[in-house]
Structure 1
Amino acid sequence: MCTLSEVGKSLEHLPVLSDTSFHDLLRFMKFSCMVKPAIEHHTVDTHHPPENLPGSVERLLVGLLGTRIDVIQSYWVLLHHVVWQAEVVVPSANDIQQFNRYAYGDIYPPTYVCLSSDCPNYQMATQFTLQYGVLLIYTTSMYCHKCFRRYHHNFSVHKSTNTRTYYYGVPSTIQVATHFFIDTPLLELFANAKVFGWLSSMNCARIYNIALAHSNAYILNNRHAFAMAPEAEHMGKSWPCSLQMRDEDVLNGFFIYSLLLDKAEKQSQLILVHDSQHRARIDAALIAQNKEMEGIGQEAYPHACDKCFVVLDNEHGQKVKIQAAVCDGNTIGHPCCAVHDCKMPLDSHRLQFCSDHQNLCSICAVEGCNFPCSPGSKTCHIVEHNKLEEAYYKPAKALFQLHARLTRAGLSVPSDSVIGDEGEDVGEESIECDGKSDKGNAYRLKARFGTRRTHNEQLIMRPCGIILARATFYGSEAISAVNEFAKAVFPTPQSTPEYFIFDNNCKLRAHQEAKQDHHFSDTALPVDVFHFNSKHKETDLYCQQHCNPAAFPDLLENGKWRFNTSICEQTNVWLGGYQAILRNMTVHRYNFYLDEMIKRRNRHVNSELKKAGIHTWLLPIAAL
């Protein structure tokens, strides 16, 4: 039992309780003991108090005690052991009257799962935890015959609407598949491993299975070093659910966890269609979230700090703000329709065209050729076009020939060395022929047999390292597309920066003048220092006049550049680390994944700025 002296020492580390009274502590203890059954119902190990109260209990205690949620949380940190060990607490009549205004008592059965082995709700499952490793668990659901809802661990399902409504807040354990659960602390570890280590879901699962699934993994993995004789693992041999974490479990957990975090931050609930396939059910939520992220959707969008927002005195002695933004692209992408700049998602990665352009599958793959394909081929009857296709598939045919020789020699062929079907062949996307042509030496035949990918990911950033927005460019890094992207990120005159830095600003400015687009009329368009020195000609007078960074004195401070105009180039090193991970993701998952990585990275950059003593703040959205 916790002593008064220990409680007093703990109070010193909880400044939020500096003005609390002994009466307040007693009331918290009494009410907490009254709702203890509800707390236990949300606790995995009922022998020990949970580190945090369930969200519903926190909100209840806030109403009962008439205080703030951070005070309730501090009370629990201080007294959770006392509450858990208390046997009998007798509330007063006033306490009961107060309690009945906000809540009702809870009575639960002595078991949380059905004890009938032939019951369909009596299910065995696997729980992956960070603290205890792999746990073998039983799960069940509860059905209310009055409101027609079935209550599962993370969500409830209504019989008539057939919707899956997740509970408020973020649970301590998340169901990622029918028989698999992952603890939230472990999912948080995976999310940060993805942000700072570019770990794929497969590598996250491998690390967990090898190093975290067992408490003595360091011994099991190094038996000779610990002089331990090899022995078979018996745990879970008869368990029907795998004890090995799968990469799809990690990825599903990441998506659900991220969605629940977002809903909790907005104090809303995640609602999905219950009957649909898991991928389709999740994709619907991802699409909605992706839509919110477009343009000004990133939470760090209103960021400002001393490294990207400065106030200067002009020649008239007036205060003027100087804000800069930097734009650049990175050539990572996802599979897309082979038609140039088509944004319709593919129904499958095995397809080359979207549903709107499926008719082009029967047309010769050579660019500019409109003849139909020959039977069993992707090119037409023209010999030169057939040679392109033969050259493209020649490496695969050669490998099959070598396999055939091994088989004739009586040797088996390793299964992992067999090339998949054409839909899985994503090596070279296109091929060219250098041979002579009737159209002249300068003409080259081009064909596309594999999957086309989007051209690049475009970023707009603050010089301090905060990423404001991201956009996928499908066909090319066209100047018109950059202009439209910039207008989406800075949609009002108040939001436009004083300086917009882009490596091809001379073409961007010329485009705006030709279109008589005055959206950025108050924004200077210099080229960043590196690209201006290496990519722009001295003889280009238009570029020198309008885009030379040295022509803008506000960009200089004591002979040095005030802003880091190469921030996008540096950030692209981080962004490029996701190329292999995202290569074959569907467009909706690709966009959600990248936006989540950016959001988490922005939070880290902002915290590092504060640690460095740099003043940061948020600008009011209305002013932008």
Structure 2
Amino acid sequence: MSVFGALRRDPQLQALTMSHIFLFTRLLSVLKNDIMLCQPVGIPVDIAPPLLPEVVSGFIATAVEISLESVGKLWELLKEDVWHLSETKLSPIEEDLFRVHGWKVGLTSLTLYPPTHTCQNPDCARTNPLKKPEARQVVVYTQGTGVMPAWAIHLYCPDCNTNYHHNFFVRGGMRTYYGNKPAYIQIGEHQFAERKLIGLWVSLMLVAWVSATNCARAYDMALSGQQERDFADGGWQFGCVLTTDHVWDAFIILTLLDYNDRKDTCLHVPHTGEQKDRFADAMRARNREVIQDGQDEIAHCCNKCMREWIGPDGTTRDVQLIIGDGMAMGHRRCQDSRCTSELSNNRHRFCFEHRHLEDVCSIVGCDTRAVPGTKSCADPGHTEMERLHYERGRAAFTLRDRLQKHRLAHPKDQSLPVPEDVDDDEGMEWFELDGNGQVQLQRGIDPGSIGVEDSIPCEATKSDTGNRKYKALFGGLRTHNEQILVRPCGVIVSRATFYNAEAVSNVLLFVEKTFSVPRAFKPEHFVYDTNCDAKQQVLAHPEEWS
């Protein structure tokens, strides 16, 4: 018997219009996981269950404006069609039906389930559907619909202690991401973002140099489409404001997932600990691979970065060049000159291994123990240097400089304060001590990142006036620069961190290492801001740079 024939024969269903039927099927198409979760264990997940859960029936009756009895009869007629219908993108009016009638009973148009209702552990003998759920309220940032409230459902397998989430499963304290490409990616404890939206943020960062802060602001102002009161009215405990940390976490997770997808591997990260530390080891592993095997584009060549050279005798050969440059965008580092270990916190001056140096005088070259509560020893000159350093740091004009340095577009925003302990390291600072023991603080303009000779002068030297010059490390120390090798077309093929200086010999070593990895082709020409010094070193030691 056809569906339309059954509708005509039933007195209750005769009054239903096509609009009722279409709305009925569209709303239920996004609730299939919720329907399946409430069914007995013996019902297969690929077959439409005979009955709808009571809460779903009540929501459909209210939203479609039909009786509960009509809901049951319609489900009996249309359940197979609904069950095999792909998930529908709802219209704004249909979304509003969930907001008005669904939120208060725990139903949302978007519910994030694991990709499977059965345990996928090959060592687990369980074959029945998982029926031990844990639900939590989340918000989902989407590109077309704005911020949406949703439920994230975790399914637990008691046989092998595996907890299945929307993006990953957890076993033994480790997250293992599925090998699929999810439409929504978890970027916080209760926050998800649409994959297309994260791709937009990545493109804005790479192409338009938009900061993560401005990505978040632009989304909240132009695309979110929701107010926090809407969430509160629906019983949601989370607001919809997107933060800078959310954008950065989304950037990191998406790029790591894409990388593992290209390698046909799965991303493994700890499930415990703080979000900021969770992906650190995975990023380090990726960086080590780049150092050992080169960037993905190490073998890149195109019409913009390769030319065909025709010799006087008519012979031709391909010619490539590479440009080297240092970007003065150093990050905080340990103040021990030879240390490359990471700081456990950017407020620290030393890494864990060299933490004992916190008690040593901060004047470079002085190994005397510092006076407790200060960063200098008992030497009057060193004490005066510390006083002058912090006196300048507290000056009103310095605070104004800091604000301009951080280039805050919204200086009144409490979420982006100018920290009081930020070191004003814009430029170079040193101290001069004259013959009478008077100390003067001097500052100069940082020359930026250019190649220098390998010989480094002694820190305590004399100025043009004969006064002794001292350097101090009262605040945080930063790496010197990020050295890059880039093709003329703009493709970056390699990067390295230079900690103390841009020594020409290190630049040459960097170039040599870059083009010694598999798939790399050594360029014929190297463009560099101090190429004369580089050429002299190569000619002086041809056996090293051949």
On the 8 A contact 2:515/2:522 being kept in 1, the answer is: yes
Corresponding letter in the other structure for 1:164: R
Distance 2:469 2:365 in 1: 11
Distance 2:512 2:82 in 1: 64
1:203 alignment partner, one of 194, 201, 214: 214
1:150 and 2:163 matched: yes
Instruction: Give 1:193-592 correspondences, 5 Å limit.
Output: 193-214=204-225, 233-237=229-233, 238-294=235-291, 296-395=293-392, 397=394, 422=421, 424-425=422-423, 427=425, 431-437=429-435, 441-491=466-516, 495-519=521-545, 521=546
Pick the structure with more helix per residue: 1
Using a 3 Å threshold, how does the CA distance of structure 1 residues 310 and 392 change in structure 2: closer, same or farther? same
On the 8 A contact 1:165/1:271 being kept in 2, the answer is: yes
Corresponding letter in the other structure for 1:311: E
Distance 2:150 2:413 in 1: 36
Corresponding letter in the other structure for 1:138: W
Deviations, residues 172-215 of structure 1 (Å, cap 9, x unaligned): 00111121111111111111111123222222222211211107
Q: Secondary structure at the residue paired with 2:182?
A: coil
May I ask how many residue pairs the two structures share in their alignment? 391
Using a 3 Å threshold, how does the CA distance of structure 1 residues 267 and 383 change in structure 2: closer, same or farther? same
On the 8 A contact 2:257/2:267 being kept in 1, the answer is: yes
Q: Using CA pairs under 8 Å that are at least 6 residues apart, name the structure with larger relative contact order, 1 or 2.
A: 1
1:166 and 2:177 matched: yes
Distance 2:326 2:413 in 1: 39
Corresponding letter in the other structure for 1:278: Q
Report the more deviating stretch, 375-384 or 295-304.
Answer: 295-304
1:136 and 2:149 matched: yes
1:191 and 2:202 matched: yes
* 1:453 Cα offset (Å): 0.8
Which TM-score applies when normalising by structure 2? 0.64
Identity of matched residues, %? 30
Which TM-score applies when normalising by structure 1? 0.56
Q: Secondary structure at the residue paired with 2:181?
A: coil
What is the match of residue 180 of structure 1? 191
* 1:278 Cα offset (Å): 2.3
Distance 2:117 2:276 in 1: 37
Distance 2:83 2:475 in 1: 71
* 1:333 Cα offset (Å): 1.2
Distance 2:32 2:205 in 1: 29
Listed as ranges, the gaps of 5+ residues in structure 2 are 1-28, 36-45, 47-78, 85-115, 119-128, 400-411, 437-460
Corresponding letter in the other structure for 2:480: H
Corresponding letter in the other structure for 2:186: Q
Distance 1:336 1:466 in 2: 28
On the 8 A contact 2:349/2:477 being kept in 1, the answer is: yes
Corresponding letter in the other structure for 2:534: L
* 1:128 Cα offset (Å): 1.1
On the 8 A contact 2:175/2:270 being kept in 1, the answer is: yes
On the 8 A contact 1:156/1:164 being kept in 2, the answer is: yes
Q: Secondary structure at the residue paired with 1:125?
A: strand
Distance 1:192 1:359 in 2: 44
Distance 2:269 2:432 in 1: 53
Distance 1:499 1:205 in 2: 42
Q: Secondary structure at the residue paired with 1:355?
A: coil
Deviations, residues 486-521 of structure 1 (Å, cap 9, x unaligned): 0111117982211112222222232234444344x3
Q: Secondary structure at the residue paired with 1:449?
A: coil
Corresponding letter in the other structure for 1:434: E
Using a 3 Å threshold, how does the CA distance of structure 1 residues 419 and 274 change in structure 2: closer, same or farther? closer
Distance 2:137 2:505 in 1: 56
* 1:305 Cα offset (Å): 1.7
Using a 3 Å threshold, how does the CA distance of structure 1 residues 140 and 207 change in structure 2: closer, same or farther? same
